[in-house]
Amino acid sequence: MASGKSPKEMDALKEHLARHQLKFTRQRELILSAFLRQEHITAEAMYHQLAKTDPHLGLATIYRTLNLFCDAGLAQARHFGSQTQYDNISHKGHHDHLICTGCGKIIEFENCEIERLQEEVAAKNGFTIQTHRLELYGLCSHCRH
Amino acid sequence: MASGKSPKEMDALKEHLARHQLKFTRQRELILSAFLRQEHITAEAMYHQLAKTDPHLGLATIYRTLNLFCDAGLAQARHFGSQTQYDNISHKGHHDHLICTGCGKIIEFENCEIERLQEEVAAKNGFTIQTHRLELYGLCSHCRH
DNA sequence: GTTATTGCAAAGTTTTTGCATGTAC
DNA sequence: GTACATGCAAAAACTTTGCAATAAC
């Protein structure tokens, strides 16, 4: 194996592509490997990040590819502020947000106890949780004054 | 004194307006009273709803007014799907969802213990919570089989 | 060789802004 | 009478789409 380690997400992408008669392109590989380094990112931010090494990679391709990742179950789109955030699913589950409605600051947190209670609620209703989203909106100490 | 016609939100709006040298207009009154009947609504939906009785009320006015309600602490903007949802703050807090990714069924629940823990997390980070959003995605008992 | 993908630009959506006119104070 | 608000249209911001050229299979 020349490349040695292909992360499981890369394999998952290839499988999704194969199953849908889609192709594994240089851009898709590039965008996925950049994406895996993030917890969440916007299309625009990734565009700028990749433009340094690949100036011809178009923003439309990034959007198309991130949307593809959502279809493949690797990413989850979240509308936040004025742009769409693409969350890295493999980092999800322990990834909740505290969002300041004053200045837009975002703090990430995880809380096992909350997660345990979520499981409890789900079980009580006969559900098996696949993923969740918890966002707390409020004012940070700065903005409260 | 018990003027059944002026809900506390209307008074809160008036107070906010007074404090900021803004004016209490027919449109603001109209939009607020329509807003209070909803749990959440988009600007576009409100535009259509109000157009029946007030065909000259512009969409820009609705946006400006709903954003004003956010400033006044009566509403909370949430980006969802492709449009902004304006949530009625007074209805929020006990409104979490359990969503089946198989059949789309939505169960509403509330859990005081989770809410308490949320407050705890917020406090630990110096935040004051205004509202929150919790969605659990999974499979219901039907769809698991 | 065939079919999907890319890059670019153009179009589509949703939201905000500019400005003349109207309205609350 | 003096601000601020409104309505309309135009602009801005973000995302998707059309199409000819290109790359994967």
Q: What is the pLDDT of residues B17-61, one digit of tens each?
A: 999 999 999 999 999 999 999 888 999 999 999 998 898 999 999
* DSSP 8-class letter at A113: H
- B70 carries a ligand binding annotation: no
* Range list of β-strands (E), A32-89: 40-42, 75-80, 83-88
For residues B20 and B69, state if they share a domain.
yes
Other Cβ atoms less than 10 A from the Cβ of A132: the count is: 22
Find the nucleotide nearest A25 (Cα to C1′).
D24
Rounded Cα–Cα distance for residues A140 and B129 (Å): 9
Q: What are phi and psi for residue A71, nearest 5 degrees?
A: -60, -35
Name the 3-class secondary structure at B98. Answer: strand
B99 versus A114: which is more confidently predicted?
Answer: A114
Q: What is the pLDDT of residues A59-86, one digit of tens each?
A: 999 999 999 999 998 998 877 778 898 9
Write down which residue in A66, A88, A110 finishes a domain.
Answer: A88
Would you call A132 and B137 a contact, using CB atoms and an 8 Å cutoff?
yes
The domain that contains B47 carries what CATH number?
1.10.10.10
Would you call B101 and A132 a contact, using CB atoms and an 8 Å cutoff?
no
Q: Which among A114, A127, A139 is the nearest to B98, CB-wise?
A: A127
Binding site residue list of A: 94, 96, 100, 103, 115, 132, 140, 143
Q: How many CB pairs under 8 A join A and B?
A: 110
Look at residue A25 and tell me if it is in a domain: yes
Look at residue B145 and tell me if it is in a domain: no
Interior CA angle at A96 toward A136 and A5, to 5°?
Answer: 160
Q: What is the pLDDT of residues A39-59, one digit of tens each?
A: 889 999 999 999 989 989 999
The domain that contains A127 carries what CATH number?
3.30.1490.190
Residue A60 CB in 7 A reach of strand D: yes
State the residue range of the domain holding A133.
96-138
B103 versus A72: which is more confidently predicted?
Answer: A72
Q: Residues of A with CB below 8 A from B98's CB? A: 121-122, 125, 127
- B16 carries a ligand binding annotation: no
Q: What is the spatial distance, in angstroms and rounded to an integer, between the CA atom of A109 and the C1' atom of C13?
A: 33
pLDDT, mean of residues B90-96: 67
Q: What is the spatial distance, in angstroms and rounded to an integer, between the CA atom of B47 and the C1' atom of C17?
A: 19
What's the total number of domains in chain A? 2
Would you call A136 and B139 a contact, using CB atoms and an 8 Å cutoff?
no
Residues in chain B: 145
CA distances from A100 to A97, B88, B99, B113 (A): 10, 18, 26, 23
pLDDT, mean of residues A17-34: 95
Task: Tell me which residues from 40 to 79 on chain B have a beta carbon below 7 angstroms from nucleic acid strand D.
Answer: 54, 56-58, 60-61, 64-65
Chain D nucleotides close to protein (CB under 7 A) are 3-10, 13-18, 23-25
Rounded Cα–Cα distance for residues A115 and A132 (Å): 9
pLDDT, mean of residues B3-24: 86
Instruction: Flag whether pLDDT at B64 surpasses 80.
Output: yes
Q: What is the pLDDT of residues A93-125, one digit of tens each?
A: 557 888 887 777 788 888 889 999 999 999 999
What was the pLDDT predicted at B142?
Answer: 81
For residues A55 and A112, state if they share a domain.
no
A143 versus A20: which is more confidently predicted?
Answer: A20
Can you read off the two tokens belonging to residue B13?
A: 């709006």
For residues A48 and A111, state if they share a domain.
no
For residues A84 and A117, state if they share a domain.
no
What was the pLDDT predicted at B2?
Answer: 47
Residue with tokens 């969409």: B59
Q: What is the pTM of this model?
A: 0.76
For residues A78 and A25, state if they share a domain.
yes
For residues B80 and B22, state if they share a domain.
yes
